[in-house]
Amino acid sequence: LVSRKNKLEDTVIDVQGDMIGDGEPTFVFGPCSVESKEQMERVAKNLSEKGLKYIRGGAFKPRTSPYDFQGLGIEGLKMMSEAAKKYGLRVVSEIMDAGDLEAALPYVDVIQIGARNMQNFSLLKALGHINKPVLLKRGLSATIEEFVNAAEYIAMHGNPNVMLCERGIRTYEKATRNTLDISAVPILKRETHLPVFVDITHSTGRKDILLPIAKAALAVGADGIMAEVHPNPMLALSDANQQMSLEEFDLFYKKLRN
Ligand code: PEP
Ligand code: MN
């Protein structure tokens, strides 16, 4: 279903009136985790001042250590949704458990499936039965074929509105948090008709190369970019080292757009 062989035209996904995959790049920025109303308010205001249409933030966090901050859950989604409404933004947020989907849906416009759950097949099947778009991230060590098959699960179970997100894969290289597989973008565009995003934050894990990586992603045909932005990264409850401050973000976005 997701194969280019079966459908030549690109899939364009309507997210509350905004078209993803129509040729204009989509930008999804926001903090790693939703932490407070005030934090979401500050980020949402900054995004809307730039004319951006989406905000991200995790409320269900897939943390490596069980002792780390696990996210605010539905309460966090409510905080983000409130800020998003006030500033006319659409919400992108990760769900890890099919059992949380129903409660989360009123607050989320695009359901993100994180790298760690790319092959959570019962979750993928459940996503087939919802009527909101899904942003599916590539697994930590998933091949492109496995990634495309995961998208196929969602489509096969009834939801054709799937976007793919390359977010770096595990290699021996330690200079970046993960290794961005830039060639995955044109390959996914060739082999599927789905919109393709690049998460420049989790793929690199470093702020000093975000601009060239974002430009590279757009140059190879990405339909969208995701990155993490936090009003006070040093105090962030997750991914403190890799999130842009609002000042860094202002400069990054200005340079990216001209
Ligand atoms: C995220 O985007 O919040 C995240 C946890 O990313 P990934 O699933 O790609 O690691
Ligand atoms: Mn993060």
For the chain, percent of residues with pLDDT exceeding 70? 100
Q: Provide the H-helix boundaries in 20-171.
A: 37-49, 73-86, 98-104, 121-128, 144-156
230 within 8 A of 31, measured Cβ to Cβ: yes
Contact 202 CB / ligand 1 (< 6 Å): yes
Beta bridge partners of 196: 164
Domains plus CATH for the chain?
A: 13-257 (3.20.20.70)
Please give the span between the terminal C-alpha atoms of the chain, in angstroms, as a whole number.
Answer: 37
96 within 8 A of 114, measured Cβ to Cβ: yes
pLDDT category of residue 258 using cuts at 50, 70 and 90: confident
* Length, in residues, of the chain: 258
Nearest CA residue ID for atom 10, ligand 1:
115
Residue 101 pLDDT greater than 90, yes or no? yes
Which residue in this structure is represented by tokens 């989790």?
202
Pocket test residue of 137, 140, 181, 230 for ligand 1, highest count of atoms within 8 A of CB = 137
Per-residue model confidence (pLDDT) at position 126: 98
Residue 4 pLDDT greater than 90, yes or no? yes
Contact 167 CB / ligand 1 (< 6 Å): yes
Query: How far, in Å, from the CA of 202 to the mean position of ligand 1?
Result: 7
pTM of the entire structure? 0.97
Amino acid at position 207, single letter: K
